Structure 1
Amino acid sequence: MIHLDRQETKLMVAVHGWSGIILGLLLYAVVLTGTVAVFAEEVGIWSAGHVQTTSVFERPIDRAVRDLGARTPAKYHEGVDLFEIGDHQLGAFFHRHETDPDGSFVSRGIYYQLDRNMRVAKKLFGTGEEVFGPRNDDALSSFLVDTHVRLHVPDPWGLLLTGIVGLAMLVAAISGLLIHRHLFRDIFTLRRKAHPVLVERDLHSVAGTWSLPFAFILAFTGSFFSFYSTAGVPIVAMAAFGGDVAALNEAVYGNPGKADPRVTGIGNLDGVMADAIRRTKGRAPTFVTIENFGRADAQLTTYHQPPPGDIEPATLLYDGATGQFERTKPAIGTRPSAGGTLTAIMAPLHFGNFGGLLSKAIWFALGFAICYVTLIFCVAASRMVCNNNDTGTLLFTA
């Protein structure tokens, strides 16, 4: 039981109410689209009529990637990104890192889209932002995700807006926890024949209390993602690297080693994919990067969803020239750390994809509970503010 005197309760009710009124509707839109976006991959598969069930990384890709490397100018071999597109088909982006005249750090190169027979279906040249535009086969899922992430507001303002919404949700969750005097009793209290205000209070409390841990997780991780690239990276880059974002990325995510520009080719990619899937207990990569493609100092990294029974995504590092496994790579830095682990589990906790369809279903249900809480919250908050907090005090402390 949490004890607050009447004045403190009225203050917390005001904080709780105003945070709901100001950003309640935006929060409702973000949470609702995020709830549906939990199944964005499945929605995309359904809406595009996909039929392939085997990951492209479980099928032979070695020859196709070698052929792409042979037809791509060597200046774009600095980095190669491999990922799935469409109905489990392969996308490959051969690029180099550049700094635009305005100081923006960009990846510029050639993007290949391959069909199911590993033939080039489309070839695009430009920066990552220019070539990775929306496609018809993922339009619905992209719409849901973009609405949830940035409300279709241009960067960086959209991310900042959803970050503020996430912080407001965190404030509402903390103030709501402090307001309730009988938190554990409230979990099971539903007085259907009481005063309408108390009925609303009970519905709000039951749904809100059961979903409270989820609300904390969702608000914290969502705010982290929103502010990480818009504020965190520029601030750290300016403070520690003189504003050099490329140097920051190399220090945090790179694979330090002695440069060796000798041309040696690449290791067998099919063997690497098979080994990575075995080490992650059957998880096919979601993304693959190759640094210094075709050189003796090439490094290949595979990224995987959390293996069964784990919540932390797996990242494996291989020698790109030989295809030999080197080590499991932390999400941040070169050594395992608490900060790296915390950063790594942010995405699984936010998207609920760490336990397959079961965890997604739970996140989906809790998301709808928060949508309901937010809707009742907006109505109740309007009443409590308009009535000098008297109705609000009754609503949350009765």
Structure 2
Amino acid sequence: MGLKLSLFLAFVLFTGTLAVLSAEIDWVIHPSLRVAPASAEAPPRWDLIAGNAARHPGVATINYIARPHAGAFAARVAFQRADKSRGYLHVHPATGRVQGEQGFVDAQRVLRNLHRHLNLPVKYGVPIVGSLAILLLISLATSFVVYRKWWRGFFRPIRWHDARTAWGDFHRLAGVWSLWFVALIALTGLWYLVEQLGGDAPNLPEPPAIAAPPTTMADATGAAHALPASLAAVRRADPALRIEMIQFPDKTSGAFTFQGQRGAWLVRPRANAVWADAATARVEMISDGHDLNVHQRISEMADPLHFGSFAGYWTRIPWFLFGLAMTGLALSGAAIYSHRIAHGARVAAAASPVWNGLWRGMGQWRWLSLALIATGAAMIVRMFVEG
């Protein structure tokens, strides 16, 4: 099965690898997302960011403000126009100056959606992609049988005698160093599959419904004007919260929701939240990641572990490199098979016979792989149209 689905598996692994650094890809694409690190060392000025974003031409409502991704990044403001179309503003975190605007569809959204569910409806796409986790776990288990005394292979160099030997040595070398990572990605991927098939964790705690804000606060200007009072109240009530995102009131809730980190290990920002009534600036509820049950805690840990986002670049760069190694394992395993077929047929181990052997070895499964990849790519166009 690793051979039959090697093309599709490599595609999913590679898009996930790129997704780890998707914010950096956006940083390269959009100059307005960049700031000088020395100018943004202080905590974000949420009030200035909100006020200037609200006054930006075309902004009708603000959905949320996200803290800068890293030191050289601007803050991002998700907004909606009067015609209901969506976009992002890039705002300097210290001065509040709006540096630029971009559409709602960016590298982060494209790569995450492509990797997670192939841009298909989630109820179909997640099980398709998540089922590969079962294949990864089987490959992990059988690797200990195929590669006997594997612990001796950590420092065994690649022999460049011929293509077949080189591919084999690379496969074993990358495999032994990636054992822990393959297990991690397989287990978190399996968890996503379990969640989608009905094993999702109970909802995180939320306060009772807070009445929608008055009309004066329903638009971006009114909400931005109300933010400083709520922000001050939250800082008094929960000074330890490192705010990473502020969700603004909408038609169904009149609360500002402040999400971030407070010390609970390996949880998404939403696990630590404070709700403040936008009309009164009264703190209605505080939730803490330490208070989650085991099921909820596992659910919150999945994303940070899967994408390596829990320790900044100290984890994201190794995750990216090991992701490339896993992609290489999917391709090198198939190449080893193709070289073996070419050798058995007494064909020279050139590139064309190798990939011809791979193509033949995949059988009819190649059309399924190509169809899934093509569908995910084609749905990107739909994302831009609807975005």
- TM bucket (normalised to shorter chain) is 0.5 to 0.7
> Counterpart of 2:195?
228
Per the TM alignment, residue 367 of structure 1 is displaced from its structure 2 partner at its CA by 0.9
Per the TM alignment, residue 370 of structure 1 is displaced from its structure 2 partner at its CA by 1.0
Secondary structure at the counterpart of residue 181 of structure 1 = coil
2-structure distance, mates of 1:45, 1:366: 22
Per the TM alignment, residue 292 of structure 1 is displaced from its structure 2 partner at its CA by 8.3
Per the TM alignment, residue 49 of structure 1 is displaced from its structure 2 partner at its CA by 1.5
Task: Verify: 1:349 aligned to 2:305, yes or no.
Answer: yes
The runs of 5 or more residues in structure 2 that have no matched partner are: 68-72, 218-225, 345-387
> Counterpart of 1:37?
19
Letter in 1 for 2:48: P
1-structure distance, mates of 2:337, 2:237: 51
2-structure distance, mates of 1:88, 1:168: 39
The 5 A counterparts of 1:193-212 are 199-212=166-179
Task: Verify: 1:139 aligned to 2:74, yes or no.
Answer: no
1:54-83 Cα distance to aligned partner (Å, 9 max, x none): 68763436768999xxxx9xxx9xxx9524
> Counterpart of 2:206?
255
Instruction: Work out which of the residue numbers 103, 125, 128 in structure 2 matches 1:158.
Output: 125
Secondary structure at the counterpart of residue 327 of structure 1 = strand
Secondary structure at the counterpart of residue 271 of structure 1 = helix
2-structure distance, mates of 1:378, 1:203: 12
Per the TM alignment, residue 207 of structure 1 is displaced from its structure 2 partner at its CA by 0.4
Task: Verify: 1:271 aligned to 2:271, yes or no.
Answer: no
Please identify, of 207-216 and 374-383, the stretch whose mean Cα deviation from structure 2 is larger.
374-383
Secondary structure at the counterpart of residue 274 of structure 2 = strand
**Per the alignment, do residues 51 and 293 of structure 1 end up closer, same or farther by CA in structure 2, a change over 3 Å counting?**
same
Secondary structure at the counterpart of residue 106 of structure 2 = helix
Secondary structure at the counterpart of residue 285 of structure 1 = strand
Q: Is the 8 A contact 2:63 2:77 kept in 1?
A: no
1:202-253 Cα distance to aligned partner (Å, 9 max, x none): 3211101111111111122233335524x226xx7xxxxxxxxxxx9xx623
Per the TM alignment, residue 43 of structure 1 is displaced from its structure 2 partner at its CA by 0.9
Per the TM alignment, residue 93 of structure 1 is displaced from its structure 2 partner at its CA by 7.0
Letter in 2 for 1:344: E
Instruction: Work out which of the residue numbers 316, 327, 347 in structure 2 matches 1:360.
Output: 316
1:77-120 Cα distance to aligned partner (Å, 9 max, x none): xxx952449963433579xxxxxxxxxxxxxx96776866899x
2-structure distance, mates of 1:52, 1:200: 40
> Counterpart of 1:24?
6
Per the TM alignment, residue 338 of structure 1 is displaced from its structure 2 partner at its CA by 2.2
Task: Verify: 1:46 aligned to 2:18, yes or no.
Answer: no
Secondary structure at the counterpart of residue 189 of structure 1 = coil
Q: Is the 8 A contact 1:285 1:303 kept in 2?
A: yes
1-structure distance, mates of 2:45, 2:190: 32
1-structure distance, mates of 2:30, 2:54: 30
Per the TM alignment, residue 336 of structure 1 is displaced from its structure 2 partner at its CA by 2.5
Per the TM alignment, residue 365 of structure 1 is displaced from its structure 2 partner at its CA by 1.0
**Per the alignment, do residues 37 and 89 of structure 1 end up closer, same or farther by CA in structure 2, a change over 3 Å counting?**
closer
1-structure distance, mates of 2:185, 2:32: 30
TM-score, normalised on structure 2? 0.63
Letter in 2 for 1:167: I
2-structure distance, mates of 1:357, 1:216: 21
1-structure distance, mates of 2:322, 2:287: 33
Q: Is the 8 A contact 2:205 2:287 kept in 1?
A: no
> Counterpart of 2:327?
371
> Counterpart of 2:116?
149
Q: Is the 8 A contact 1:318 1:324 kept in 2?
A: yes
2-structure distance, mates of 1:89, 1:24: 37
> Counterpart of 1:288?
247
1:24-56 Cα distance to aligned partner (Å, 9 max, x none): 111111111211211111111220222454687
**Per the alignment, do residues 57 and 170 of structure 1 end up closer, same or farther by CA in structure 2, a change over 3 Å counting?**
farther
1-structure distance, mates of 2:237, 2:116: 30
Letter in 2 for 1:21: L
Question: % of aligned pairs identical?
Answer: 17
**Per the alignment, do residues 310 and 221 of structure 1 end up closer, same or farther by CA in structure 2, a change over 3 Å counting?**
same
Task: Verify: 1:90 aligned to 2:77, yes or no.
Answer: yes
Letter in 2 for 1:361: I
**Per the alignment, do residues 89 and 362 of structure 1 end up closer, same or farther by CA in structure 2, a change over 3 Å counting?**
closer
The runs of 5 or more residues in structure 1 that have no matched partner are: 1-18, 95-108, 123-134, 237-247, 389-398
Between the two proteins, the alignment pairs up a number of residues equal to 309
2-structure distance, mates of 1:387, 1:269: 71
Task: Verify: 1:328 aligned to 2:310, yes or no.
Answer: no
**Per the alignment, do residues 330 and 199 of structure 1 end up closer, same or farther by CA in structure 2, a change over 3 Å counting?**
same
Q: Is the 8 A contact 1:35 1:368 kept in 2?
A: yes
The 5 A counterparts of 1:305-316 are 310-314=265-269, 315-316=272-273
> Counterpart of 2:376?
none
